[in-house]
Amino acid sequence: MRFTRFCALYNKRAFPATEGILCDYAAYRFYTSDICGRSFSVELYGIRNAHVELRSCIDIKHGSMPTLGRIRRAWLLKRQGGPPKKPITSKILKRLLGCLDKRDYDSQTIRATLCFAKFGLLRVSEYTYGPNGNAPKVGSIAIVPDMKDAKYLVYRFNKSKTNQFGKRERIVCVCTCPEPCAVHEVIDMLSFRKSINAKDPLFWMKDGSSPSDDQVRHAIKNLCQACRLNPKEFASHQLRAGGVTDMLAAGVPESMIQELARWRRLDSMIPYKKLDDDSTANVLIRSL
């Protein structure tokens, strides 16, 4: 609606919008007094995704996407308040999971969702359910060799932030027991169900709903409060950052992390390099 009003105000044509109009709109919003950063992001990228899906004006590789991204980052920085976000590493995740009862199905579903996101280096839209999500199904995963002797899990999907045209992508989660483990948390979640069908949602609550990005976000905030952590320091995307941070600390080559996180360029990893003192020291000790 804001985009439509903007086009009417400045005598621009709303649809199909050109790349220039989208950039003008982003710059216009940058200088407004709106303080809701998430609504701006959702609105801007929702418009972009709509055009990409319609295969209209936007060229995601060579068009205005870098400009839109820079405006969005500058806008969020301008509106940003509170402490900087911290990655949800395995150490933090273990504290969060300690507040969730494994005997309760809904709690186990949240446990599996958080571990799946963290160890799969997933963006929130890639594992939640919504208009821009992938809506993962039980049939989207493969557990190797089987649920009894699981070693790793593979998740295949067709859409991501940088892939809007159905190119096949995949993530791999290995067993990390006895620490938080995405593979066995997913298995434990599925073991609650009376029946498992390939077309069923992978994450499925008792009331028949599936976790949305808002539900995951609120769950993290509530768990942080229960663990006496500052909820403002953690967000859903920090699960992906935590996975990258732990891999760097473990000495996994950056080229492998780039492949697992599905970045086009290695410099996309720079914002995720947030090793604490202990992790930095351990990496240096192994390399000397």
Which residues are CB-neighbours of 162 under 8 A, at least 6 positions away? 60, 262, 264
Contact 146, 135 (CB under 8 A): no
Q: What is the pLDDT along the chain (288 residues), one digit of tens a residue?
A: 666 767 777 677 666 666 666 667 766 666 665 555 556 666 666 666 666 555 555 444 445 556 666 666 666 666 555 677 889 999 999 999 999 999 999 999 999 999 999 999 999 888 888 765 567 899 999 999 999 999 999 999 887 777 766 678 889 999 999 999 999 999 999 999 988 899 999 999 998 888 888 899 999 999 999 999 999 899 999 999 999 999 988 888 889 999 899 888 888 888 887 777 777 777 677 766
Domain ranges of the chain: 2-79, 90-277
Contact 2, 10 (CB under 8 A): no
Is 90-277 a domain of CATH 1.10.443.10?
Answer: yes
